[in-house]
Amino acid sequence: MGEITQRGLIDGSAGDHDDGPANAPDSLDDLKALVASGRVEFPDRMRQIGTYAFRHPHEVAFLSIQELAKVTETSPSSVHRFAKMVGFSDYGALRKLFQRHIAGLLRDN
């Protein structure tokens, strides 16, 4: 899996805070496409969370919000805001997307 190299997660641009897209992505590929599109600007803490999530999807599928905050050196409220920014109601809904991704990989093997 390649690194996401869109403006908001990699180059350090933060821009104005956006409330996120109207609908949550249906798959990890859809989430990556949303991030790569540049439609959502990611402040530094959100970038840390997103970068970690794409590099470690197997971990994100099972980490609690507190655990993800700890490994990304952010806060649970930042993790929650990241989930909301990309269209989910909360971190639990985002984590389910990662769980579905992992389940799909297991089915394919």
Q: Is the pLDDT of residue 21 over 60?
A: no
User: For the chain, how far is it from start to end, CA to CA, in angstroms?
Assistant: 16
pLDDT tens-digit map of 80-109: 999 999 999 999 999 999 999 999 888 887
10 or 64, higher pLDDT: 64
The number of distinct structural domains making up the chain is 1
What pLDDT score does 42 carry? Answer: 87
Nearest CA to 93 out of 55, 50, 51, 60 is that of 60
Q: Judge whether 99 lies within some domain.
A: yes
CATH number of the domain that 73 lies in? Answer: 1.10.10.10
Nearest CA to 87 out of 20, 16, 33, 41 is that of 20
State the pLDDT confidence band at 22, using cuts at 50, 70 and 90.
Answer: low
Measured between alpha carbons, how far is 33 from 30 in angstroms, rounded to an integer?
Answer: 5
Q: Judge whether 87 lies within some domain.
A: yes
Q: Is the pTM of this model over 0.85?
A: no
Q: Judge whether 1 lies within some domain.
A: no
- The rounded radius of gyration (Å) of the Cα atoms in the chain is 13
**By the 8 A CB rule, do 86 and 25 touch?**
yes
Q: Is the pLDDT of residue 5 over 50?
A: no
Q: Judge whether 2 lies within some domain.
A: no
Q: Is the pLDDT of residue 2 over 50?
A: no
Q: Tell me the residue range of the domain where 82 lies.
A: 7-17+24-108
Q: Is the pLDDT of residue 61 over 60?
A: yes
Nearest CA to 45 out of 64, 68, 22 is that of 68
Q: Judge whether 78 lies within some domain.
A: yes
